[in-house]
Amino acid sequence: MTGADDATHGAWVGAAVDAGIALVDTADVYGLDWGGTGFGACEETLGRVLAASPGLRDRIVLATKGGIVPGVPYDSSAVAITHACEASLRRLGVDHVDLYQIHRPDLFAHPEEVAGALVGLHDRGLVRAVGVSNHTVAQTRALVAHLPFALATTQPEYSLAHLDPLRDGTLDLCAETGVVPLAWSPLGGGRLVSGDGVRPALLAAMTAVGDEHGLDRAGVAIAFVAAHPTRPVALVGTRDPDRLRALVDAAAVHLDRSTVYGLIEAAEGVPLP
């Protein structure tokens, strides 16, 4: 949410919600990139959008993330996470978020301390549920061991351009525990659409699948992410209302086993054993 005026930003969010997208995911660090004005800029913009649209807050699942501190770069100490969440709420202009996530693991924060901060925020009513982002399975399990309630989500990079969660245990842990995977960069940073740096065989396979199901390559990428039995949520960044509606429809398209395995073989360039 950078590079436009508040009315345009509001129209983007409204179009997404009207298309059936309920989850709005942001982070305190967003705004340092993509033409933003600085740390917290996107939360501030979203806060103005919510203030200008009565009733919109009640129609969305509002999620944000904290733990990245420019120059450090990660701090998930109890004091830092508590202050980060409180600051996010101020920027968003809300009294709570539905989901608060640790953006990236702080290797020098004991998971018991991180859990304590999250429990404190939860007990104060500032967050309704908690999750993690970019955490390994071991890091996730270590945090869960100190939480008195279930972890709601994990946010890995997952797409036909990045298949690691299929084999590194991330999606297995979701299947085991019921944690919901939120797949970031489901279009491979746009490469699955543009074709930049993507195997020609994968592009050809995606085009063939798309022809069969009436989808473009972006739609095939989303349908692939949605095909896993843990029912991943694809986090899309497009701001075009027509594209949003098309991707929502694509998430409902069923790809059978031969199709998804064929896409994986085309992505990896080797036959499955």
Domain-wise residue ranges, the chain = 1-146, 156-161+181-273
Q: Is the pLDDT of residue 258 over 90?
A: yes
Query: 188-211: per-residue pLDDT in tens?
Result: 999 999 999 999 999 999 999 999
Instruction: Report how far Cα 238 is from the mean position of its chain's Cα atoms.
Output: 13
**pTM assigned to the model:** 0.96
Which pLDDT belongs to residue 3? 84
Fold (topology level) of 1-146: TIM Barrel (3.20.20)
pLDDT at 23 over 90: yes
The pLDDT assigned to 214 comes to 97
User: DSSP state, 149?
Assistant: S
Task: Clarify whether 100 is annotated catalytic.
Answer: no
Q: At residue 216, what are phi and psi to the nearest 5 degrees?
A: -85, 180
> What integer pLDDT is reported at residue 1 of this predicted model?
86
Say whether pLDDT at 160 is over 90.
yes
pLDDT tens-digit profile of 54-74?
899 999 999 999 999 999 999
Is residue 139 helix, strand or coil? Answer: helix
Q: Which of 30, 74, 100, 158 is catalytic?
A: 30
Q: How many CA atoms lie within 13 A of 147 on its CB side?
A: 22
Q: Is the dihedral of CA 135, 141, 147, 151 positive or negative?
A: positive
Please report the pLDDT score of residue 35 as a whole number.
84
Distance CA 243, CA 2 (A): 18
Q: What share of the chain is helix, strand, coil (3-state, %, to 5)?
A: 45, 15, 40
